[in-house]
Amino acid sequence: MNQRNVVVTGIGLVTALGIDRDSSWQALKAGRNGVGPITAFDTDGYRTTFAAEVKGFDPDAYMDPKDSRKADRFSQFAIAAAQQAVDQAAFGTPPDPFRCGVIIASGIGGMLTFEDQHTKLLNRGARGVSPLFIPMMIADIAAGLVSIRFGLRGPNYCTTSACASSGHAIAAACDQIRLDAADLMVAGGSEAAVCPMALAGFGNMKALSARNDDPTTASRPFDRERDGFVLGEGAGVLVLEEEAHARARGATVLGRIAGHGATGDAFHMTQPDNDGAGAQESMRAALRCAGIAPEQVGHINAHGTSTPFNDKIETLAIRKVFGSHADRIKINSTKSMIGHLLGAAGAVEAAATILALREGIIPPTINLRNADPECDLDYCANEAVAQRVEFALSNSFGFGGHNLTLCFRAVP
């Protein structure tokens, strides 16, 4: 079977920096910060009191109000990002809906709905729980709602692998097209876990930064004084398409998916293995899939969580994969600006990587003020870098030892 090339024809974003693709991307390039004190609920008594919240989002701008009330916030984000991506791809009514599918990931699912309904159960008993509780809460419902909205009847499911979830969704969607099971896929991830349970859970395991006196500098990937990640929310969705299919209908090609690689650490519930072997092999597998040499990679959108162990191990893994060429790669972490979107992180970062290749501008890693001798690569510290790159990687690593690397190629 001939290789079916996969291209990106649409991008949608909802982040703490903007509720659409263009505002989010302009803010990322400018190095703006989306982190601040939490406004959604009272944080008194919590170890961490700040997050990267999405502000000013109106689901009724994308959904009928009757429908938006039946959707958890993570599903609302997914529909908004999908609408943006579909509008940009401009594919209209799919000619064959069974050849067009949806894979939308979430690591957490409808936690806001879960919290709300659990409170009602405790206060009012079993009859107080809404009959919509289950369909609003389950992680796959965002994919289902997107498929219903656009009439896409091909492969339809959710991937859940913690912080690698939406990276896996994009890789799986790419495979559906390459295997000739689909011509077009809407793929990405959504998360809305800025809520008491998540803040308490991540905070009590000391995964979150506790820099409450200065939250705007709390997310500082690769910095010597990093002390944990910042919880974020939002969504990223891509329209993937078989290249000949896209060209035939006159679609604008934004970038190509050259390859992907996935591994498991088989090491620890939350920590990567000590030499980053899983992360190394994930990147090597993506390079093999793309059919390129390590020296052809010019940019890596790092997982870069701002946690002490992760950033050090990812740096080590990059050095082992790329050798001396690692010093010439422009590396950044968008999490420094929008926090960690958990299951949605991979898709948002994939979108940022594609836009960086398309414009020749690599957003900065902000708050990187104090060099860590164990993090000694070029992280585009505090300033965007104007540089044309042909191939770029985007890394996503999740609790449970899930590793996923996407490889993108610029379109001339």
Residues acting as catalytic residues: 163, 303, 340
Closest by Cα among 113, 103, 284 to 190: 103
Q: Say how far apart CA 405 and CA 282 lie, in whole Å.
A: 6
Q: Say how far apart CA 328 and CA 8 lie, in whole Å.
A: 27
155-to-100, 186, 191, 249 alpha-carbon distances in Å: 7, 10, 21, 22
HSE (side-chain half, CA atoms, 13 Å) at 102: 27
Q: Say how far apart CA 77 and CA 16 lie, in whole Å.
A: 12
